[in-house]
Structure 1
Amino acid sequence: MKWISWLIVVAVLCWSGPASAEVEHVFGTVADAVSGEPLADVRIWADDDSQLSAADGGFSLATMATHLIVRKPGYLPQKVPVSFPLHLTLQPITPKALYLSYWAAASQDLRNHLLQLLADTGMNALVIDLKSSRGDIAFRTDMPLTVEVGAQRSRTLKDLPDLLAELKERGIYTIARIVVFKDNRLAKGRPELAVRTEAGSVWEDREKMSWCDPFREEVWDYNIALAEEAARLGFDEIQFDYIRFPAKSDLLFSRENTGDNRVAAINGFLARAQQRLAAYPVMTSANIFGYICWKPKDQKIGQRLADLAEYVDYLSPMLYPSGFPHGIPGYRNPVANSYAVIADSLRKAALLTGLAPQRFRPWLQAFRDYAFDHRSFTAAEINAQINASNAGGSHGWMLWNAASRYTQAGLQQVIPYGELNLVDASPKAGDSTVLSRSESKPQALPTM
Structure 2
Amino acid sequence: MGRHSLKRRGTTLVLVALIVTAVLAAVGLALALVSPVKPAAELAPPIPGPATSKPAPTTTTADAEHPGMRALHLTAHAWSVPALRDPVLNLVREHKIDTVELDIKDESGKIGYPSALPRAREIGAIAHDAYDAKQAVEQVHALGGKVVGRLVVFRDPVLGAWAWQNGHRDMLVQRPNGQPWSSGYGKYAFTNLAHPEVRAYNLDLAVEAAGLGFDDILYDYIRRPDGPLAQMRFPGLSGSAEDSVTSFVADSGRVLRERGALLGVSVFGIAVSSPTSVAQDIPALARHADYIAPMVYPSHWGKGEYGVSDPNADPYEIVKRSLGAFAEAVRGGRAVIIPWLQDFSLGRTYGPQEVRAQIQAAHDAGMPSFLLWNAGCRYHAAALSPR
How far apart are residue 144 of structure 1 and its match? Answer: 1.4
Does the Cα contact within 8 Å between 1:357 and 1:393 map onto a contact in 2? no
Secondary structure of the 1:126 match is strand
Post-superposition shift, 1:220? 0.7
Q: Which of these residues, 362, 383, 386, is aligned with residue 339 of structure 2?
A: 362
Please give the TM-score of this superposition, normalised by the length of structure 1: 0.68
Matching of residues 111-150 of structure 1 within 5 Å? 111-120=85-94, 122-150=96-124
| Displacement after TM superposition at 1:277 (Å) | 1.5
Q: Deviations over 1:409-435 (max 9, x none)?
A: 212379xxxxxxxxxxxxxxxxxxxxx
Q: Distance in 2 between matches of 1:137 and 1:377?
A: 31
Q: Which residue in 1 is equivalent to 2:328?
A: 351
For residues 299 and 333 of structure 1, do their structure 2 counterparts lie closer, same or farther at Cα, with a shift above 3 Å needed?
Answer: farther
Q: Please tell me whether the aligned partners of residues 318 and 364 of structure 1 are also in contact (alpha carbons under 8 angstroms).
A: yes
State the distance in 2 between where 1:404 and 1:302 align.
29
Runs (5+) with no aligned partner, structure 2: 1-55
What CA distance in whole angstroms lies between the structure 1 residues aligned with 2:299 and 2:57?
A: 50
CA apart distance, 1:239: 0.5
- DSSP 3-state at the match of 1:252: coil
1:106–1:199 CA distance, 2 compared to 1 (3 A): farther
Tell me the CA shift for residue 73 of structure 1: 4.9
1:292 aligns to what? 271
Q: TM-score, normalised by structure 2?
A: 0.78
Partner secondary structure for residue 321 of structure 2: helix
Q: 2:287·2:335 contact (CA, 8 Å) conserved in 1?
A: no
Distance 1:149 1:238 in 2: 22
Q: Give 3-state SS (helix, strand or coil) of 2:287's partner.
A: coil
- 3-state SS of the aligned residue for 1:103? helix
- 2:309 corresponds in structure 1 to 332
Indicate if the aligned counterparts of 2:154 and 2:223 stay in contact, CA closer than 8 A: yes
Is the CA contact 1:288–1:318 (under 8 Å) kept in the aligned structure 2?
yes
SS of 1:351's equivalent in the other structure is helix
1:253 pairs with 2:234 = yes
Q: Which of 160, 179, 190 pairs up with 1:201?
A: 179
One-letter code aligned to 1:144: P
Name the SS for the 1:176 alignment partner: strand
- TM-superposed CA distance for 1:292, in Å, is 1.7
- The answer to whether the aligner puts 1:277 opposite 2:256 as a matched pair is yes
RMSD after superposition: 2.3
Deviations 1:207-237 (A, max 9, x none): 4261101111111110000000111111111
Task: Please state if 1:267 is matched with 2:249.
Answer: no
Between structures 1 and 2, the one with greater strand share: 1
Do the aligned residues in 2 keep the contact of 1:96 with 1:398 (CA within 8 Å)?
A: yes
1:66-81, aligned counterparts within 5 Å? 67-70=58-61, 72-74=63-65
Q: Alpha carbons of 1:310 and 1:155: their partners in 2 closer, same or farther (altered >3 Å)?
A: farther
Aligned residue for 2:6? none
Quote the Cα distance in structure 1 between the aligned partners of 2:57 and 2:259. Answer: 14
**Map of 1:219 onto structure 2:** 198
Q: Structure 2 counterpart of 1:179, which letter?
A: V
Give the C-alpha shift of residue 353 in structure 1: 3.1
| Letter of the 2:60 counterpart | I
After TM superposition, give the deviation of residue 327 of structure 1 in Å: 4.4
Deviations 1:271-306 (A, max 9, x none): 11123223211111100001123x1x5233211111
Tell me how far 1:161 sits from its aligned partner: 1.2
Distance 1:314 1:256, change over 3 A: closer
Equivalent position to 2:130, from 156, 176, 200: 156
Greater fraction helix: 2
